[in-house]
Structures are given as structure tokens and as C-alpha cells.
Amino acid sequence: MLFNSFQFVFFFIIVSTLFYAMPFKFRWLLLLTASCYFYMVYIPVYILILAFTITIDYFVGLFLETASVRYKKLLLVISIISNIGILGFFKYYNFFTENISFLINHLGYKAKLSSFSLILPIGLSFHTFQALSYIIEVYRGNQKAEKHFGIYALYVMFFPQLVAGPIERPQNILYQFYEKKVFDPDGISSGLKLMLRGFFKKLVIADRLAIYVNAVYNHPASNNGKSLIVATFFFAFQIYCDFSGYSDIAIGAAKVLGFKLVTNFNNPYLSRNVSEFWKRWHISLTTWFRDYLYIPLGGSRVSTAKVYLNILLVFLISGLWHGASWNFILWGGLNGLYLIFLKITRKFWPLFYRITYLEKIAWLKISLQMVVTTIFVCFSWVFFRANTMTDSFLIFKRMTLLKGELFAGGYTLQYCFLGIFILLLYEIKVEYFKKTFNLFNNSNYLIRNCSFALVIVAIIMLGVFDGGQFIYFQF
């Protein structure tokens, strides 16, 4: 079910009303049933895949608590293989067979490994990682195994974050299913406000930007450098608003029901370097990779060369997590290289700011850092968005051809800039002028409520209602 659909609005009103009307002991059942329905709206039969991994992980979790050290490792491997195996089959099988066939043919042998045309189960990468974090935490002894099968299933399937995160840790969410949630008008209002922010980001900004980006990126050979540069800049904000919009709706929906999910984005385009960007972007995934991959690999406690290798490896795997294509791997690798570059040059920058006197003009220094960071991030987004690897390099090549008119797409260009302007204005206010005049948290109830009413009106007036799915659903 799409968050940006009437179907979800009706579904959510019904579920929330029933949730508070129902006795506490049946609420988990209601949420689990609702989550199953939410998932089954796409391809109903895929619920069996989820049921399979949930059952395995539930029992592995139980056995992990009592098993000896030797068996613990075996159980962990069983769980990882079953989860990653399913993810690998659905998401990466074709990618690997195509590449192996290519390699074999390149070596002079003739081979064509068969491929499947299966639709990827929605949000498979997300709930796989969420299930893995449960098993790893139980294995490490940081989390007690969940005894209640229904509650464990709900941990994996909780509908607000089922298909695109945030990827939760068991310590943060499991105990909340045992808490009796009381009807809290303030909590519900703040949840609804968060959902509204998400809808604005998705409908007014992301889906509008998508019109321009798709028009240009689907025909890179017919567009000049100006249009390609603008489209790349737009894509940076499209994917941000699309995904953070989804996260806002997810966190808001959970909040309406009384649950607290982790923050997933923190104004990433106000970052002052790429390292900070990754601390503000898709936080639940970044911390997942940090805790379950980077640190076990040795983290920063190993030799410098090994640290760089670890960073690169983590980002390459992160790229592969996003999609089964060399484009995503290159995107991840490029971001890894950015971070390595930052680590290598970390002593140089304070000196540079001193020499250029930028240190004394703080606002200029910060602005320049933000602009440069955004440029580097945008550069890597080209690989992420381009339809093929060939397209990526064609886009870079054509970016230098600045002759010709900028593609406008009717008034799309104006709507896109307007959306980005509103977003940046809001985020700069939140980041740097928190205590100055506040519209949405104003003490005057009329100003406060008028602000929210105007956001709804702006969505109706400027939103794109024929837009598609959230980009991250495909992961």
C-alpha cells in the first residue's frame, strides 16, 4: 500500500481508531493483521517469504539464548544464510548470473546462465536487515529473545516501517509493543504533523522533481549540459524528499499509535562535509552498517590502510544493498573514496581555512562547505540515477556541453525551484534559527493551526497526485 494514496488514508484512520478502541491485550493482533494486509496489497503470496524468515529467526532467537557458544555460531549462520539467501535470490541472482556469463564468454567459453523474471518483494532489503539486527543482538546478548511469536512477527512487520524503514533495532521497538498506549492528543497531533511534513516533501517536492529528472535522465543524449546538471541537482533533492518524506510519514504514523521510531534523516544537505552527510542521511542504515559490519571488521582500531579498506568495503556493500547493478556499487565506492579522502586530508583543512581567512568569516565558510559537499554528493548521485552505466558516463561527458537552452518542461522548472526553496528555508530555520519566530510550534493556537491548514492547502495546490511509488520501495 502506498502512503500517498487514499487507500492508506482510509486504512490508517480505521486502524488508529480500532487501536485505541480495542482492549490492550488484542492490540498486537490488530497491528499484525493490519501489517499483513498492508504488505499483501502488493503481491499477496510474498507474505509467505516473510512468514518463512520470521519463523526461522524466531526459533533461532529462542535457541540462541540457551545454546552453547559453538551452537550459537551455527544458529547465527543458519539465520544469516536464510535471510541473506532469500535477499540474494530475489535481488542479486540475475545480477550475478549475468556477470558470470559475461566473464565466462569474455574468457572465450560459451555460457548462458539462466535468469529469472521475478518481481522483487517490496522492502525485502529493509526487513531482512531488521531481522538480522534482532538475531545479532540476541547472539551478542544485548537483547533477550522474544518469546511471543506474534510480537516478534510484529517487530519485523510493523506496517509504518515495513517497506522502507527506518530499520529498527530490537532494543528500541520490541519493548514498546508491551507498553499500554493511552490516547494522547499531543502525541497524535505531533504524529499527524510529521505525516503532513512527509506528504509535503513527497507530493510537492519529490514527485514534482521526478517529472523533470525523468524527462532528462531518460534521454541523456538529447539533453545538454545545463539540463543534465540541473536534473542531477534536482535528483539529489528528489531522492531526499522522497525517502525522508516516507520516513516522516512512517515515524508520524507510528507516533499517532503511540510508538517512537528512530530518526532517519537530519537535514543532510546542510552537512559541511561528506562524512557529516553520512551521519545525517539514512541514519538507521548507516548505523546498521557501522555496528554490524564496520566495527566487526576492526573499525578505526586497526592500521590506517585497513581503516581505509574497511570504509571502502562498507560503502561498496552499501551500494550493492541499494541495487543489483554496477551503478550502485560505483555510487557506494565513490562515497567511500570521498570519506577516505577526507580522512587523509583532515589536517590540511584547518590550515586552509586559516590561510584563506575563511575561519574569520564563519557564515561564508559554512556556506562554502555546504555547497562543496552538495556538489560532491550530487556527482555521485549520477551513478545512482542513471539508467545504465553507459548512460552515467554519457551524462558526465554531456555535462560539459553547456550550449543550448535549459529544458524547462512547461512550468516544471519553476515548481521544482519553488519546492527546493521552501525546503531549504524550512531546514535552515530548523538548523540555525530554532528559537526565532515559529509558525508550526507557535504559542498562539490560531497561528499554529492556520500554518498547518496552509500546508494542507499548499499540498492540494502544488502537489503531484499522479506520482508513483517511493523510490526506496525497490530496495
Partner 1 sequence: MNGKIKVFLGRFLLVCFLVIVFDQAVGRLLNHFYFKHEPVNHNSTTYVANYCDQQVLIFGSSRACYQYISNEIADKTKLTCFNAGVPGNYILYSYAMLKCVLKRYTPKVVVLDIMPDEFKFSQDNYDRLSILLPYYESHPEIREIIGLKSKYENLKLLSMIYPFNSFAIDIISRNLHTNKNEFRPDGQNGFIPLLDTINQPGDKFVNKDYENYKPDAELLMAYNSFIKECISHHIKLFVFISPILDTHLFKNNSIKIASNIALKNKIPFLDCTDQQEFKKKIFFKDFGHLNINGARLYTTEVIRQIKAQSYR
**Which residues sit at the interface with partner 1, rule CB under 8 A?**
6, 182-185, 188-189, 410-411, 414-415, 418, 445, 449-450, 452-454, 456-457, 460-466
* Distance from chain centroid for Cα 124: 13
Q: Closer CB to partner 1, residue 124 or residue 196?
A: 196
Q: Closer CB to partner 1, residue 188 or residue 337?
A: 188
Cα separation, 241 vs 342, whole angstroms = 27
Counting every residue written for the chain, the total comes to 475
Minimum CB–partner distance for residue 237 and partner 1 (Å): 18
Q: Closer CB to partner 1, residue 20 or residue 326?
A: 20
Provide the grid cell at 446. Answer: 490560531
Q: Are 412 and 212 in contact (CB under 8 A)?
A: yes
Minimum CB–partner distance for residue 187 and partner 1 (Å): 10
Minimum CB–partner distance for residue 239 and partner 1 (Å): 21
Minimum CB–partner distance for residue 188 and partner 1 (Å): 6
Q: Closer CB to partner 1, residue 161 or residue 412?
A: 412
Minimum CB–partner distance for residue 203 and partner 1 (Å): 10
Using the Cα atoms of residue 303, residue 304, residue 309 and residue 315 in order, give the sign of their dihedral.
positive
Minimum CB–partner distance for residue 20 and partner 1 (Å): 9
From the candidates 127, 148, 282, 322, which is the catalytic residue?
322
Minimum CB–partner distance for residue 357 and partner 1 (Å): 42
Minimum CB–partner distance for residue 388 and partner 1 (Å): 20
The reply to whether 322 belongs to the active site is yes
Q: Closer CB to partner 1, residue 45 or residue 461?
A: 461
Q: Closer CB to partner 1, residue 13 or residue 372?
A: 13
Provide the grid cell at 204. Answer: 510537492
Task: List Cβ neighbours of 289 (8 Å cut-off, separation of 6 or more).
Answer: 314, 317, 318
Cα separation, 34 vs 36, whole angstroms = 5
Q: Closer CB to partner 1, residue 118 or residue 457?
A: 457
Q: Closer CB to partner 1, residue 170 or residue 463?
A: 463
Cα separation, 33 vs 21, whole angstroms = 16
Residue 120 CB burial class (10 angstroms; 0-12, 13-18, ≥19) = middle
Return the active site residues: 322
